[in-house]
Amino acid sequence: MPPEKSAFALARYSRSPDSIRKSIEWVRTHDSQKFLESFYFQYGHASIADLGHVVLCFEGVSELAATEIEDEQLWDGQARSSRYQDFSRSGFIVPPEFGEEDVALYRSTAERLLVGYESIHRQVTEHLSEKLPRPEAMKPEAYQRNIKARAFDVARYVLFFGIPTGVGQVTSIRTLERQIRRLKSSEYAELREIAEEMAAACAAPPAVEWDPASPSEPVAPTLARHVDPDEHAAQSGRDLALWARQNLPAASNQASMEPVTVVRPTHTHSDIAATLLFPVTDRPYHELY
């Protein structure tokens, strides 16, 4: 079933003595968009949107974008595995915000990192092949596959946020709405563009169908009309950055040589405040307390 119709059917099922079969048949003859507009978006019955799920795939996005996409509490999905796939020939994504000089520096650095990635993988593969000879019971193809995977497991730490990747996710309509609104208010142009594409995908029929012969309709058209940027989150970030500049001392240019001890947080509010301030200030994390 389409996600919004599934949510409509299960919501009616919870509010009616009818069987689920009767509820589904009822939904066939009624407007799910009108129902969601009233009960979800106007009356605030948000749990209804947990009953419909959408599959979205993001292809050719940066690792930075993938990290931001996955930053949801209620999220299910997987990204391209840097342990099993070779990222050396996939190139890299240049942030659209960069100026000409920044692009030149970025490109040269990225190219050197990819050369290093290939070199590390080759040398680790040779080292592991010498250290761990193939057992007689293991087929050569399986042995090579395992050795390469272990080498990728080492080399992948050279990969950077500009490496293109792919992400497949399954989320509820409720989570998807919050995700699109969050990404639309991102400081990164790539993420804002992705959010616009997500909304457009919700308003259109599925790009890939299991059964092309079956009737097709928009994925989540009601959702697509209610995904304005999350201005509160964007303004909160700007306000927090301003507060940090006004109230925190200037960062020292000298690296701290003080030992760092990892401890269990005991002051929850202080820990939350330090976590929020960390991205908007140059102060070392431990100095924010």
Question: Do residues 179 and 61 make contact, with C-beta atoms less than 8 angstroms apart?
Answer: no
Residues 111 and 138 in one domain: yes
Amino acid at 268: T
Task: Tell me whether residue 89 is in a domain.
Answer: no
Same domain for 35 and 178, yes or no, is yes
User: Is residue 87 in some structural domain?
Assistant: no
Residues 219 and 241 in one domain: no
DSSP letters spanning 86-106: --TTS--PPPTT--HHHHHHH
Domain boundary among 158, 185, 206: 158
**H helices present in the chain, as ranges:** 3-14, 20-28, 32-36, 63-69, 100-131, 140-155, 173-184, 189-203, 221-224, 231-247, 268-277
- 24 inside domain: yes
CA distance linking residue 29 with residue 64, whole number of Å: 44
For the chain, the domain total comes to 3
Helix (H) or strand (E) holding 168: strand 164-172
Backbone angles phi, psi at 165, to 5 degrees: -150, -175
Q: Are 16 and 34 found together in one domain?
A: yes
187 lies in the same domain as 70: yes
From 229, 256, 277, the end of a domain falls on: 229
| Three-state DSSP state, 148 | helix
Residues constituting the chain:
289
Question: Looking at the structure, do residues 134 and 175 belong to the same domain, yes or no?
Answer: no
Domain ends where: 112, 130, 158? 158
Let me know if residue 258 belongs to a domain: no
The answer to whether residues 73 and 104 belong to one domain is no
Rg of the chain on CA atoms, in Å: 24
Written as tens digits, the pLDDT of the chain (289 aa) is 788 888 888 887 877 788 888 888 887 887 777 777 766 666 556 777 788 899 999 999 999 999 999 999 999 999 999 988 999 988 999 999 999 999 999 999 999 999 999 999 999 999 999 999 999 999 999 999 999 999 999 999 999 999 999 999 999 988 999 999 999 999 999 999 999 999 999 999 988 888 888 778 888 888 888 888 998 888 888 888 888 888 887 776 666 677 777 777 788 888 888 777 776 555 554 454 4
Q: What are all long-range contacts of 225-234, with beta carbons under 8 Å and residues at least 24 apart?
A: 226/41, 226/177, 227/177, 227/180, 227/181, 227/184, 227/195, 227/198, 227/199, 227/202, 228/181, 228/184, 229/181, 229/184, 229/185, 230/178, 230/181, 230/182, 230/184, 230/185, 231/185, 233/182, 233/185, 234/185
Pair (223, 235) in one structural domain: no
Q: What domain range is 197 assigned to?
A: 3-80+166-229
pTM score, whole prediction: 0.78
Same structural domain for residues 187 and 237? no
- Are 12 and 75 in the same domain? yes
Residue 117, amino acid? Y
Assess if residue 91 is contained within a domain: no
Residue 171 sits in the same domain as residue 75: yes
CA end-to-end span of the chain: 51
Residues 18 and 74 in one domain: yes
Task: Note whether residue 237 is domain-resident.
Answer: yes
